[in-house]
Amino acid sequence: MNEAVSAKVPMIVVEGLRKSIRNGPRTVDILKGLDFSIPQGQFAAIMGASGSGKSTLLGLLAGLDTPSSGNVHLNGTAISYLPEDKLAQVRGKTIGFVFQSYQLIPTLTALENVLLPYELNADAQDSDAGMARARELLTNVGLGDRLDHYPVQLSGGEQQRVALARAFILRPPIVLADEPTGNLDTTNGAHVLELLLNLNRTEGTTLVLVTHDPVLATYANRRIVLRDGLIVSDEINANPTADAQQTAAVAR
Ligand X SMILES: Nc1ncnc2c1ncn2[C@@H]1O[C@H](COP(=O)(O)OP(=O)(O)OP(=O)(O)O)[C@@H](O)[C@H]1O
Which residues sit at the interface with ligand X, rule CB under 6 A? 21, 23, 28, 30, 48, 50-56, 100
Q: Cβ distance 36 to 1 under 8 Å?
A: no
Residues in Cβ contact with 194 at an 8 Å cutoff, skipping those fewer than 6 apart: 244, 245
* Type and span of the H or E element at 200: helix 186-202
Nearer to ligand X, 99 or 118 (CB): 99
Q: CA geometry: angle at 199 spanning 49 and 107, to 5°?
A: 75
Residue type, 128: D
Instruction: Round the CA-based radius of gyration of the chain to a whole number and report it.
Output: 18
Q: Cβ distance 196 to 220 under 8 Å?
A: no
At closest approach, how far in Å is the CB of 54 from ligand X? 4
Region from 52-60, 89-97, 190-198, 237-245 binding Mg ion, contact rule CB under 5 A: 52-60
At closest approach, how far in Å is the CB of 35 from ligand X? 18
Separation of alpha carbons 120 and 100, rounded Å: 22
**Phi, psi dihedral angles at 51 (to 5 degrees):** 90, 0
Which of Mg ion, ligand X, none does 79 bind, CB closer than 5 to 8 A by kind?
A: none
Nearer to Mg ion, 192 or 226 (CB): 226
Query: Under the criterion CB under 5 A, does residue 55 sit at the interface with Mg ion?
Result: yes
At closest approach, how far in Å is the CB of 178 from Mg ion? 6
At closest approach, how far in Å is the CB of 245 from Mg ion? 28
Nearer to ligand X, 51 or 214 (CB): 51
170: closest CA among 95, 74, 86?
95
Which of ligand X, Mg ion, none does 239 bind, CB closer than 5 to 8 A by kind?
A: none
Nearer to Mg ion, 98 or 124 (CB): 98
At closest approach, how far in Å is the CB of 19 from ligand X? 8
Nearer to ligand X, 164 or 210 (CB): 210
The residues that touch Mg ion, with contacts defined as CB under 5 A, are 55
